[in-house]
Structure 1
C-alpha cells in the first residue's frame, strides 16, 4: 500500500524532446522475496553537512529473538469488534512515530498487482523525513541506478517529483513531474507521497475504521519472525467477498523491538475453493535505521551524491 518506482522512456522523435515515465511507489514483496534482500548493498552517501545530530541513530539489529508473547496490548474487550485491539495499536503507533521518529532509512521491497498482473519485485534503498515530508529512493532491482526525489510543498502540500533513469537513458538527465500525473502514475497504484511506514499506518487505520462497521471479520494474532526480526503478526480475514471490503486476507507484521510495521501484505479472494489467495500487494521494510538527523541537503536534487 504505499509508494515506489521510477521509469523513464525515450521521447517522441517528432517533438525532438525527451519524454519519460517516472513513478515512485512504496515497495515490497512476498516473504520469500523479502528474505533475499541481503544480497543487495545499499549505496553509501557522504554526510551532506557536518552538523551534530541531537540523538544517535537507532539501528534495528539484524536478528532479534522471538518472543513468547506479543509486547503489544491486543486484548479484546467484551462486546467490541475484533479489529479494535489492532486499531488501538495502530493509533498508539502513529503517536509514537510523530513524537519519536524524525526520519529513517531502510531497504524497501514491493510487489503490486496492476490490471490483474503481479508486477516484478522492486527493491530500493530509501531515505524518508517526516517534517517536511521528503523521500529519496535509489533502486537496486530490477533497474539498478534509477533515482527519484520528492519534497512536499509549503504546509506539506503536494510537491514535485524529480527522477532520472539508469543505463543509456541517464543522458536524458533529471526531470520534474507531477506525482499524480499520467506519466508518473502509469502502471502504479500510489504516488510517492503515499510512501513510508507512517502513511502505511494511517491507511490501515482508515481501512480498519471502515471494516469495524461490518461483521464477517476474523482476526488472529501470533508471534512470528521475518527477516530475522521478531514480530507480532496480525492477520485479518473477510471470509465472504463483499463490496465493503478491500481484501480477503491482510497480514501485518509489527516489529517487537521498534514497534513499527515492517511488512504488510493483502490477498484477494481465491477464484475457486481450495486455491491459494492471489497476492494483491506487499510492502516490506528491511534494515530500518531511525533518526539519522537528515537535513534539507539530504533531499536536495543538487546534492552531489545524487543523480551522478
Structure 2
C-alpha cells in the first residue's frame, strides 16, 4: 500500500521544526532529517542560467586585457582607490609600469570634423562624450571637473551638469577605455593621445624657427576649421585664436617658398590663406607677387581687381599704396 502523499505546507519554516507551529497540518520532519531537508534545494533552470551568465561575465572581465596605468581607471565618480595596483596585478606587471598588452594608437581630430580613431578605426560616441573629448582636445591641458561641467552644460543646474559629466564619463569608458586620465579632480586626455590641432601649433613653431617647405598635408591641415559643425560659446575664442595662427603660418610658408623660387607651392599656400580670409591684404600681396614672379601679369591684375572690388563692397575701403605699387603703372 503506497504511502499517503504529503500535503503542501502553508507555513514557511526553514528548516521544518520537529514541533508543529500553529496552523501547520503537515507532519513534522524528525530532527535527524532536518539537515537533509535544508540541503534538498534545487535551483530552477532560469536561476541556474542567470548564475552561469554572471560567472561568465566575471571570467570575461578578469581575462580582458587591462592597461596598468591610470587612464583606464576613470569612472563616473572619479578614480577607484587601489585600482592601479589591481590593474597591474591583473595585467601581470608592476604597479605604474607598462602593461603586457599592445599599446593602442589613439587619435582625436577636431579640424574639419570631430572624430576619434583607435588604431585607425572610427569610434562612435554619444553627444556628451564628444563634447567632453572636444573640450579637452582644444584646451590641451587637464581641466577641473567643476569647470568642465559648467562649460559643457551651462544651461543646467550645477547638480544636473555634474550628473551629465558623470554620464559622459561612464559612456566614454564603456566605448573606449583609456582615453582619459584623472588626478586631483582634474580630467585630461591620456598621455600619448594624438590630436590634429596640436600639429598646427607644432608647424607654426617650426615655421618661426626654420623655413620648412610647403606640402599638401600641411596645407590641408591648416585649411581645417575648428569643429565647424559645433555651435558652443566656449569655442568662439579658440576659433579666432586658431584662425590667426593658421593665417600667419600659411603666409609664412608661402613667403618662404616664394623667396626660394618655388612659386607654384607658394601660390598654393597663399591661396589657402586667401580662402580663409578674402579681405586679408597680406595674403593677397603674396598671391599677386607669385603671379608676377611667374610672369603672369594678367593673373596678378585679375587678382588685384577682385580684391579691390570686394574690399570696397564690404568695407568701403581701398587697397593700400604698397599693394597698388606692385602692379604695372595704370593697372591699379
> TM-score, normalised on structure 1?
0.22
Using CA pairs under 8 Å that are at least 6 residues apart, name the structure with larger relative contact order, 1 or 2: 1
Higher strand share goes to which structure? Answer: 1
Higher helix share goes to which structure? Answer: 2
Query: Which has the greater radius of gyration?
Result: 2
